[in-house]
Chain A
C-alpha cells in the first residue's frame, strides 16, 4: 500500500462517485476496480450510496451546466475531513470537449480538487493508486485535528 500509512485509518474508506456529464468510460473503470480482478474491497475501500457517509468524492466528466449545482450540493453534504478526486482528463482540462457552450468546468473552478487522475479513461490501477493517496492525505488531515 502507499507509504505513510503507519497507523491504519480507523475505519474503511468510503467513497462516493458522482457523474457530472461523463461519457462513462471512467465510470466503467471505477466499477471494474471493484470486480474480482482488481478487488479494491480487500483494502477496505467501499462505494457508498449517499454522500453523507463518504470520505472521498470521485467526480468524472466535464462539468455540464445542468450538473454543476448538483456536484456542489453533493460536496456540501459530505462531512469533514474530505478529499476530492477528479478522475479522467475531462475534469482536468476538458479533454476533447475543451470548447463548448454547455460546460462550466474544469472541475477545480467548481470544487477544491485534491488529486487529479489523468487518462482517458485512466486504468483501474491508477484509480486505486489515487484513492490510496487520498487515504494518506486524510490521515494527515485527521492527525491535524
Chain B
C-alpha cells in the first residue's frame, strides 16, 4: 500500500548569481511526482572543531576565534562570548560601551538582512533586485569600515567593553548613511512588499505553524514569522536594549494576520531593517559619556579571570535568531574549562522538515533560503532517505531554474 516515491538529493544553495556558491549542506527528499513527501537534512561538512580548539586558548584569543565561526554573524558570536565571561567573572561593562555595542550589532543586522533579501530575490528570479539590494548594502559596509577598519570580521569587542570609540566627528557620516539607508529601504519595501509576483510566489509555501514553531524551539525571524514572540533583545535586557526598548516584530504588524509562510518571513526581515535604522539613531542620540572598557590592560584582565571559578551564559539576538555561549572556568587557569557555542541555525534545522513537506520541488530554493541558514554557524548536514525506487540527483542549477520557471508561469 506504500506510495511510489523517489529519492533525490539536493544541495542547498546560499550564493546569489551562481550555483557555484554553495554552503555544504545536504537535503534528501522523498518525492512523489512533484510533491515532497519527506525530508532529511545532513550536516557536518564545515565542522572545524572550533569548541575543541577554543579550549586550548586564552579568552582574548577566543574572541578572534569566535569571530570566524561565521563571516556574516561576526559580531554576535564574540559578543555572546564576552558576555558569558563577564557574567561568570562578574565584570561590569561601562554604559557607553553598551550603547556602542548596540550600534554595531544593529549595523550588522542591516547588512545581514540586506544580503538575505538579495539571495531571496535571486531565488525567485529577480536578479535586478539582487543587484539593487547589494548596492544598498555596500553603503552599510562603508560605514562599518569607517567605524571599525574592516568590512567583515570587525575585531571591535573585548571582554569588558569595546576597543574603539564612536566620537562626535563620526556622527556626520553615520547620519548620512542612515539617510541613504532609509531611501534604500523604501525602494526595497516597494520591490518586495508591493509586488504581486513576490506575493503569489511566496504566499502559502513553506508554512510553519505556531505550534510547530514553539515545540521545535525555532528562533529568530523563522519563529516570529509564525507569530511566536521570541526576541532576546525584547525578552531579556542586554547591552542597552533594555534602555532603548525593542518591540517584537511579527507579520500582523503589517498585514494584520499571521500565516507562517515565506511571505511572512520576508515581511519580518524587512521591517527589522527599518527597526534597526531607528535603533541606531536612538543609540547615537542617547549615548552617555564615559569609558569604553572596564579594564584596558590585558595582562591584568587575564589575571583577574584566572582566579575566578564559575560558569556563565551569554545570550543575544543574531540576525538569524538566538545565539548562546556557555563558559566555565575552574579557577586554575585563564583558559576556559568548557566553551559551548550554539548558533541560531542549530535551532532552525528541525523546522525545515514540516516546512518542506507537502511543497513542490520548485519551491525548495525559496523555502530553504527563507530561514536564512548559515551553515558555518551550524555545520550540520543530515541526509535522509526514504523511498527506494528511483534515485536521481537534482543539482542546484536545475532546482534554481525550476524555481525561476515557476515564477514565470505565474506571471503569465
By a beta-carbon cutoff of 8 Å, the part of chain A in contact with chain B is 16-19, 21-32, 34-37, 47-50, 61-62, 64, 66-67, 95-97, 99-103, 120-121, 123
Contacts and interface: CB of A to CB of B under 8 A. Distances in A.
A61 to B, nearest CB: 8
Interface string B39-62: 000001111111011001000010
Contacts of A36: 131, 134-135
SS of B interface (majority) = loop
A116 B3 CA distance: 52
6 contacts: A28-B152, A35-B134, A49-B396, A62-B48, A97-B49, A101-B49
Majority secondary structure, A binding face:
mixed
A62 B52 CA distance: 16
Contact of A27 (B21, B49, B141): B21
Given A31-B17, A102-B48, A120 B397 contact: no
B129 to A, nearest CB: 13
Contacts of B68: 23, 25, 95-97, 120
Contact of B18 (A17, A21, A23, A64): A17
B152 A35 contact: no
B153 interface: yes
B48 A120 contact: no
A37 B294 CA distance: 40
A68 to B, nearest CB: 11
Contacts of B17: 31, 34, 47
Contacts of B162: none
Contacts of B23: 19, 24
B47 A66 contact: yes
B45 A25 contact: no
Interface stretch (B69-77, B181-189, B224-232): B69-77
A66 B45 contact: yes
A18 to B, nearest CB: 8
> Top 4 A-B pairs ranked by shortest CB distance?
A25-B71, A49-B19, A24-B71, A47-B18
A99 B56 contact: yes
Given A61-B46, A120-B153, 12 more contacts: A19-B21, A21-B24, A21-B376, A35-B131, A37-B138, A64-B46, A97-B49, A97-B65, A100-B48, A101-B49, A121-B152, A123-B151
B18 A121 contact: no
Given A30-B21, A67-B45, A24 B72 contact: yes
A48 B15 CA distance: 12
A49 B397 contact: yes
Interface string B121-155: 00000000001001100100100000000011100
B45 A49 contact: no
